[in-house]
């Protein structure tokens, strides 16, 4: 029996749409554009397999960490960054890895950062280039732009296996170019943007059931040589209604340089 979940797709509109982040100066308060709530069928890659980073821009790996508590002290960050750099060099052939952001998300109404429940990808080409400059500076960004680089997100459950709101992905080969649209992110002190995805019955949704803290999802969010960016979202679903653990995760954004 196919598994199903609910997702929040975006919609085409006559005017540019936006999210207001930390609206009114209240951290964590988000005012969203219109969403199209849609039920989708899921392929559980734990059962069906057939998914790889090379072919689908998302891969699921067993990758235990020595870090178990990702608290605000950040005393864990150096050790975890080293683990991620080693993982990416091994799995995707990166020659240099810069980890520039860690976000812990908790599926709780009072959490500052909750799971993102909209179907999106993090960067447009313009946004990725701007982020490259932010991280490296103009001169080094120009050097990297002459070669092959990309942004990869590494996502891991924290404390417990994921029982609710797992992270789902749309297989890139099932997405049409016209399904994408640009969305502004309006912060109190700056403006950015992301790519939102509009619903299409051809979309093939992938996830891995009951992911544990020893497992990661590694997915492409931009590649300057054209590897597809992966639309993703937290899925509104519950694996087992008798389990009440709160969904917690850490996502780590990385900039990688390839040797080719």
| pLDDT for residue 107 | 96
- Closest among 44, 72, 20, 53 to 209, alpha carbons compared: 44
Cβ–Cβ < 8 Å for 207, 166: yes
| pLDDT for residue 2 | 63
- Residue pLDDT, tens place only, 142-175: 999 999 999 999 999 999 999 999 999 999 999 9
User: Which pair of tokens denotes residue 14?
Assistant: 């006559």
Nearest 5°: the CA angle 101, 119, 257 is 40
- Closest among 85, 91, 86, 95 to 259, alpha carbons compared: 95
Which residue ranges of the chain lie beneath pLDDT 50? none
| pLDDT for residue 122 | 93
| pLDDT for residue 191 | 82
d(CA 239, CA 210) in angstroms, rounded, equals 8
- Closest among 64, 236, 224 to 152, alpha carbons compared: 224
């Amino acid at each position: 029996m196919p598994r199903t979940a609910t997702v929040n797709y975006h919609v085409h509109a006559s005017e540019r749409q936006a999210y207001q982040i930390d609206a009114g100066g209240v951290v964590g308060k988000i005012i969203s554009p219109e969403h199209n709530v849609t039920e989708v069928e899921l392929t559980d890659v734990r059962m069906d397999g057939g998914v790889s980073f090379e072919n689908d821009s998302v891969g699921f790996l067993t990758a235990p960490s020595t870090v178990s508590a990702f608290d605000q002290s950040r005393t864990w960050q150096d050790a975890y960054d080293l683990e991620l750099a080693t993982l990416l060099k091994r799995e995707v052939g990166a020659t240099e890895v810069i980890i520039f952001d860690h976000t812990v998300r908790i599926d709780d109404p009072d959490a500052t950062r909750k799971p993102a429940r909209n179907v999106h990808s993090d960067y447009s080409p313009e946004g990725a280039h701007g982020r490259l400059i932010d991280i490296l500076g103009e001169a080094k960004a120009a050097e990297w732009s002459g070669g092959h680089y990309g942004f990869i997100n590494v996502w891991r459950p924290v404390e417990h296996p994921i029982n609710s709101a797992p992270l789902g992905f749309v297989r890139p080969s099932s997405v049409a170019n016209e399904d994408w649209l640009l969305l502004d992110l309006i912060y109190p002190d700056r403006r950015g943007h992301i790519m939102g995805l509009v619903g299409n019955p051809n979309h093939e949704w992938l996830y891995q059931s009951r992911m544990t803290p020893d497992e990661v999802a590694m997915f492409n969010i931009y590649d300057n040589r054209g590897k597809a960016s992966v639309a993703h979202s937290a899925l509104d679903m519950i694996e087992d209604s008798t389990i009440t653990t709160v969904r917690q995760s850490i996502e780590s954004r990385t900039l990688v340089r390839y040797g080719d």
